Amino acid sequence: YRRIYDGLKSCALIISIEFLLFGSILVLFPTQLTSIMLNEAAVIELTRQYVPVCGMLICSLYALFVFRSACQGLGNTFIPMCSGVMEMVARVVTVTFFKESLGFYSIAVAEVAAWATACVINAVCFFVLMYRHTHSRTRQHHSNFRNRFRFIQRFSGFSPSK
């Protein structure tokens, strides 16, 4: 399981670099990015408001991808599926509570809140799974050692009390 942690560290480095590169582009140049793909001024204006908010926390989306894949790789597919449902719930709840105070920004905040919610769920699941796997291996190793020692005792006649 050491290589899983090593892979997680590598992914954290990649996430950091991508966040600094792409996140800063999304925050600093939203109008230029949206005008490349869109023509209508009203749509560009709305997208110009949306893109920087997502750019500020796009690292949570990157981390979500890593933790979700790691959980699935460790054999748990239920929690990543549930986190997808919780993403939807987070979007609905965020927009419902913040639509009056934030207006259109509540949609962007809901997107980021959904990413962060699912990321936290998958990260907690990942670390719990890793804890269980590493500690169950340790217990299994100790129990295998005790069984071997008992086998040696039985057939060799060796007893520590003699």
81 and 68 Cβ atoms separated by less than 8 Å: no
Task: For residues 39-68, give the mean pLDDT.
Answer: 91
Query: What tens digit of pLDDT does each residue of 105-124 get?
Result: 999 999 999 999 999 999 99
CA-CA distance, 140 to 134, in Å (whole number)? 10
Query: What tens digit of pLDDT does each residue of 124-161 get?
Result: 999 999 998 887 765 555 556 566 656 656 666 655 55
CA-CA distance, 112 to 42, in Å (whole number)? 23
- Who wins on pLDDT, 93 or 37? 93
Q: How many CB atoms lie within 10 A of CB 10?
A: 11
CA 105 to chain centre: 24
Structure tokens at 98: 């913040």
Say what the pTM is.
Answer: 0.77
CA-CA distance, 113 to 88, in Å (whole number)? 10
Alpha-carbon dihedral 128, 130, 132, 133, rounded to 10 degrees: 160
